[in-house]
Structure 1
Amino acid sequence: EESADEEEERRRREEERRTMVSHGDLEDLAPAFVLSTSQIIAEWIAGGPTFRGLCLKPEGVLFDSPSLQIGVKTQYSKAAGRVMFFYGNRAPVPLKNFSITLSPSTSLAFQLKPIKGILEAGEQAQQLLNFVCLQEFALPPELIVSFTLPSHQPGIPDQEIEHKLRLPICLTKFVTPKQNVTAAQFIHLWKNSQGNDYVERASLMGGEVGGGMGGAMVGMPFFEYSAVFKMILGKVFDVNEIKMIFKNCLHLDIVDGVDSTPSSVVAVGECWTQSNPVCTPVFVRLQTREEMQLFRMTVRGHTNDTAWGIGISLMAAIGELETVQDQS
């Protein structure tokens, strides 16, 4: 015989399944973005598939043109990270006035090593960027690369070139898996991370309820980001493949046994920032409607930027950002 809590959770899951929108419903939904989320998603789209792909792996080519190639190799440890840039001059002439700058950020503190102002033909140069995550963020920073490309042809002026590139420094890079959370613990934490009375209820949890996470949650409000979106066009995801993306790319630990639907994925992680004395929890639930090629995602974190940053990274990994319908 199920307990009152188990019965309540079963009813909640049934209600969530009933409210999963159909394909037709998705087409009829009016855009529900608040301005900030729509702008953030638009910037993620504008960043291009190369940027979004590098958000899921530690190294690769960020930019490639006839005159310049830029590769990146990244490392992270809790709230700190570093990127080694590799600049390769592919032009037959030197790149003069070579300059690298970063977009201003209140969420990341940067320390960019200097680089010389000329890149000879065929030369490759390296530049190290160290940074610390000060607070949660949803929009990755930009790298601005500018240089002069000499023409060496009479009557044709030199070209002043500037490239603005979205850097694959996203919030999931500062997340680590929260391991050994049981289904019962997750359900308790999930139920106690919603509503305006969360602060009062959280104080009753104690340190052991969340498998060591409860102490970090006491007195902490939570924000939710929920969205419906389509799968990547032409892609059929196996649930095990999605779990691997959660674990290896988004650095979240899977919690089995929470949802009875086999295609649902539930995960938990810890977000590290310099502004918080302890890491803060992140909860993710993903439901799949395979026959309609739809996902329904809910993310909870202790700031809006936490929920948005993790949620948009997840949607970019497995879905089409152009189809996102905000359900928050």
Structure 2
Amino acid sequence: MKKIFLIILTSVSAEVWGQVGINTTNPSATLDIISKGNDLTAKALEINNSDGSELFKLQNNGYLGINTGTSLPTDLLHVKTEVKHENLPVLSSPYSPLAVDASGAAKVKPATIQYFYFKRSSSFGNFSLYNTNMYTNIPFPAGGDVQGNTTGFGFGTDVSGTVNSQSVSNISYLTIPEPGVYLFEMYQTAFCTGLPTTSSNTGQIAINTIFATASNGSSVYSTNTIFRDYAIARRNATGGIHVSSYAYANPQKLIVAYQSTAVNEKVALFVNYAGGDSYNTQTCQMNIPNGSDNYGYLIVTKL
């Protein structure tokens, strides 16, 4: 009779209160489980299969492991082998599809186009074009000419450094904060005034645009890519034949897909004489083409 009364009382209590506590005498939910032990890796809940293998475990720090065996989960949700998803919603801008980072953690984050855009508002020079061992740095400083920088590029200047073992002063450089593949696209135009110091039978000036790199903390730059363009011989600013100048806006282009493999790699661009007519005086500059609103640009996109 006592047993029957106890069963009835228990049933009534469960129905009235609707809460069960494990390891606690004061449950605060329908099922309230308190971990046994107070360290972060203590298990609050563990489910095993018929062979005694762990299928599911919940740690005291909130980490949940599924099919991780005897290994403890190392993130909020740690699943070993495949996870199947069905009927997932199609995400629209600014969100990207589910991705996995280098540690294996699945994440969804806003998708932003990572780019750097520099639009030069003034000319730079003067420099000479006569010695293949001389390098003139093309500056891309911080300031109003930077139209966008979601790549997070940094800016700096090496007071002294070397390019292909040749000394160069005041090297303006960009730092790439995150390893990855970046597409560099640069366009500008060069001109030199007055008669050439020396003339060759080419009737042109061969000009290199050099993409060089250095490791973080180093001022030793080495060439990664060279683009070579030719200044059209003896032209004035509008392209007409002229006896004593290379004053036409002669395009200097550079397109490089560069793979950065370390944090804060440094990139610097240079102009370098390659051959033909030469100017050993500081009379060469990067100018503005007729009808343009800028002296050149650099656009970098993270691929």
Q: TM-score range by the shorter chain?
A: under 0.3
Which protein is richer in strand relative to its size? Answer: 2
TM normalised by structure 1 equals 0.18
TM normalised by structure 2 equals 0.19
Query: Structure with the greater relative contact order (CA < 8 A, sep ≥ 6): 1 or 2?
Result: 2
